[in-house]
Structure 1
């Protein structure tokens, strides 16, 4: 479904206000008509059943207005609607659930070089990067168990301050804690970063926090690492987007983004061994964490359930 636009100047009034309205049949988008009518039909009973007042509607509208001023409408829509478009979030899905990209992705992160045998990488970071060192490992496989060799992983996360680099919000160097790298021939990967912290956007408005309070949500998103996987065999557009979380995170069950999924939560192990610290180049640290997560992704040979659904253009009365 696509919408077209034009650069023609707009007339603020019709040339002939009394002329009949003419609908350009060539511009009708029957899929859009179908969705618009279905949404209105679905929402109307909620308004009636819950007896939503105009004051409550105005409060929600005020929230949207604040989000618009903060350029945060897209993120808000991700919270409510993005996961509904994806069969990987449905009950019974055997693969890894997806998660939204989020508002802080920056394309073009540096392609990293392996620091050792196999696919072992270190995200760009300062020599004295604050935070607990974290080593994440795993394997990327198709739904049939086949490893996705040389898949590109594009990952990014916040610093220990709760701020992402590349946004002009602090003094982090460019591409700090952002990078791309590849799995090995068995689809395995390993990278070193720091353990992220829960955070809230620096420009969040009080009305949004009040909204979270009313919904029983936390003000902070749980710890997470964004991970985008690209491979020619991946279904749809050749990429898969998700976020990795951490078991035991107190914010996991109260995520204001409503995206945290227990199936995406990694167990972590603490390592204090001096020999391991030295081997990892972590002299000066007392310990580091390790986490392991395997991804199972639908490929072109695994047809997603939604792909079999055929939309029938509706007739407009």
Structure 2
């Protein structure tokens, strides 16, 4: 053990981690201390800046409720949520890529018949979503459950407007048959801002960044014997594709949205490719 010095600050702190500490916890905390101290030395953090950081974290915690998690929002806008997701969902080439779950998934959405609509408020531009669920060999996956959800035409999820939107608006679960095909009707989603009335939104403004997410449809695909997929498909011409405030866009997830003039609706085909467990 040694006394604290600027030069050996991280080493001094880490030397005091006890031998009885959980090995994984010790590994994670030692790395955190090393990087945190290196960062502090690199930018020569001032006392005033440290005070502001503590105040920011305090305000972030104070705004959190059962319905709002500002720390996850902070993780999102720093790209940390997407990095954790990427590390934990590495897949072989050809498999559908993951992206963040987002805060608006709700368990227990209604099971719907294949081809049924999920749009209950009658607003927005109708869109037919269809495609297949396949394995890595291109064979159909039967019994795949496809849990879908999106915002409405005004950029809000039903849980954000419980007194305005019908319950389960733009939500549903569909199960594939032997051919692995799925189809349902929803709306062409619209881009929307993340909640930016708190400390994270203020930080975005100070960084010269906007709070918008590009238009997307959410999917959670699961099937026996396969690793689940949590992902979005994104509207190809959306202006925020390359500046998604939570970094959720991957090139392979940009889906076609084709205008079907005869029926005055859109069509968005997309195939999901699943990876076997293990």
Fold shared by both chains (TM-score > 0.5): yes
In structure 2, list runs of 5 or more residues that go unmatched.
1-17
- What corresponds to 2:267 in structure 1? 290
Q: Structure 1 residues 107, 89: closer, same or farther in 2, change over 3 A?
A: closer
Q: Which has the larger radius of gyration?
A: 1
In the TM superposition, 1:179-258 aligns within 5 A as 179-201=172-194, 203-205=195-197, 207-235=199-227, 239-258=228-247
- Aligned runs of 1:93-104 on 2, under 5 Å? 93-104=93-104
Query: Which whole-Å CA distance do the structure 1 matches of 2:91 and 2:112 have between them?
Result: 36
Aligned to 1:299: 276
Cα distance change of structure 1 residues 60 and 90 upon mapping to structure 2, 3 Å threshold: farther
User: Where do 1:5-24 residues align within 5 Å?
Assistant: none
CA deviations on 1:20-51 (whole Å, 9 max, x unpaired) are: xxx894xx422122112122223332332233
Change (3 A) 1:255 1:55: farther
Which residue of the partner structure matches residue 15 of structure 2? none
Mapped contact 2:132–2:271 kept (Cα < 8 A)? yes
Residue pair 1:75, 1:103 contacting (<8 A) in 2 also: no
CA root-mean-square deviation: 2.6
TM-aligned CA deviation for residue 177 of structure 1: 0.5
Secondary structure in structure 2 of the residue aligned to 1:110: coil
| Contact 1:218/1:251 (<8 A) preserved | no
Alignment-derived partner of residue 7 in structure 2? none
Equivalent residue, structure 2, for 1:11 = none
SS in 2 for 1:32: helix
Preserved contact between residue 225 and residue 245 of structure 1 (Cα < 8 Å): yes
Q: Is 222-231 or 145-154 further displaced after alignment?
A: 145-154
SS at match of 1:135: strand
Q: Aligned residue pairs: how many?
A: 254
Which 10-residue stretch deviates more, 184-193 or 156-165? 184-193
Inter-partner Cα distance in structure 1 for 2:93 and 2:32: 25
Asked if 1 retains the 8 angstrom alpha-carbon contact of 2:96 and 2:229, the reply is no
Cα distance, 1:269 vs structure 2: 1.0
How far 1:166 sits from its partner (Å)?
2.8
Query: Does 2:147 align with 1:154?
Result: yes
Q: 1-side partners of 2:137 and 2:50: how far apart?
A: 47
Q: Deviations over 1:52-96 (max 9, x none)?
A: 444444444444444331432224334532332334776985422
Deviations 1:146-175 (A, max 9, x none): 322120011111111211113445410110
